[in-house]
Amino acid sequence: MEKIIEQTREYLKNAYVPYSNFRVAACVQTKDQLYFGANIENASYGLSNCGERSALFYAYSHGVRKEDIQAIYVVTTADVITTPCGACRQVMAELMPRDAKVILANDDEIQTYTVEGLLPHAFDAESM
């Protein structure tokens, strides 16, 4: 776990954050591979993309599917552990197994959740 967190931390430098200066890096872990992403901002904030979604979309673009994903790591340099935003939680609920680990880290601590734990009663295909 520590090794993946350190690798993810390296991707903080790839974040494009000229407005918030709040860097987020994420890593999707499958059985065989790691897929990294960082947050990318836009002057029109609604067009920004969080690090979690960047990593998930990158993994899916390379053929990964829900059943392949074991965990997602989310790393920031914030003073407190930062949980994923609502949009990221919804995307995780769609693209990751409900029992997949969500590992959150900053410079001082690590917390582990599951997708289900972060978004119980998620809106999904069965809700339609």
45 is in an annotated binding site: yes
Contact of 54 with 38, CB cutoff 8 Å: yes
Q: Is 67 annotated as a binding residue?
A: no
Was 40 annotated as part of a binding site?
yes
| Cβ contacts of 27 within 8 Å, gap of 6 or more | 4, 7, 8, 11, 34, 35, 36, 37, 55, 72, 73, 75
| 39 belongs to an annotated ligand binding site | yes
Closest-CA residue to 72 (of 120, 105, 39) = 105
Based on the residue annotation, tell me whether 109 is a catalytic residue of this protein: no
Q: Is 35 a known ligand-binding residue?
A: no
Q: What is the Cα gyration radius of the chain?
A: 14
- Tell me if 27 is assigned to a ligand binding site: no
- Per annotation, catalytic residue among 2, 6, 52, 126: 52
- State the binding site for Zn(2+): 50, 85, 88
Specify binding-site residues for substrate. Answer: 39-45
Which positions are catalytic?
A: 52
Task: Provide the annotated binding site.
Answer: 39-45, 50, 85, 88
